[in-house]
């Protein structure tokens, strides 16, 4: 599978089969995140990998009671260690850097036959309590990871290029 096939195949998976993710595959996925680019090569991301079933179910409750979060074989809690750095453009770097690393995770997962789902609906304080994450750390996203119950592709509804791309100037 090439990168364009992975991009075209990736979908948000909200139903997983009860099968653990092999250690080798998990390591490859985390390595993809490690290799992601970041502002000034700061590599501010940190990941808490949760495989324990009871902990995943508790995380599901903290994630707006979305049961499928607990059904995924793995929940990756994507955090940022330094949340103060701003790029010269004025944007905080950590949300962007963590998102890039998570996107590397999603594409590596597709290549390995796994599915993912970005979770932004969660109570940060509850997740921190569950996982003993220090107050100074920010949780950016939760990422479900596992084998999809339905591996068939879905049609993506996306705007056409001429609606989202401007050349040379905004016109």
CA end-to-end span of the chain: 37
Q: Identify any residues that bridge with 148 across adjacent strands, giving them in sequence order.
A: 16
In angstroms, the CA 76 to CA 72 distance is: 10
pLDDT along the chain (171 residues), means of 10: 92 96 98 97 97 98 97 98 94 97 98 97 98 97 97 88 95 80
Position 156 scores a pLDDT of 87
- Token pair 């701003």 is at which residue? 86
SS3 letters for 46-62? EEEEECCHHHHHHHHHH
> In 3D, which of 147, 133, 7, 111 has the Cα closest to residue 62?
133
Query: What is the reported pLDDT for 171?
Result: 80
For the beta carbon of residue 35, count every other beta carbon within 10 angstroms: 10
Instruction: For the chain, list the domains and their CATH numbers.
Output: 3-164 (3.40.109.10)
């Amino acid at each position: 599978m090439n990168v364009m096939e992975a991009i075209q195949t990736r979908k948000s998976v909200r139903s997983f089969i009860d099968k653990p993710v092999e250690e080798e595959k998990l390591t490859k996925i985390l390595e993809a995140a490690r290799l992601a680019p970041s502002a000034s090569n700061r590599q501010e991301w940190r990941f808490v990998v949760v495989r324990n079933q009871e902990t995943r179910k508790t995380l599901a409750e903290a994630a707006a009671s979305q049961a499928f979060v607990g059904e995924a074989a793995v929940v990756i809690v994507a955090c940022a260690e330094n949340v103060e750095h701003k790029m010269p453009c004025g944007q905080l770097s950590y949300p962007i850097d963590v998102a890039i690393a998570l996107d590397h995770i999603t594409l590596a997962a597709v290549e390995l036959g796994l599915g993912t789902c970005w979770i932004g609906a969660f109570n940060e304080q509850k997740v921190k309590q569950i996982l003993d994450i220090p107050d100074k750390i920010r949780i950016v996203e939760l990422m479900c990871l596992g084998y999809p119950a339905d591996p068939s592709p879905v049609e993506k509804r996306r705007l056409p290029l001429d609606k989202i791309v401007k050349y040379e100037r905004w016109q």
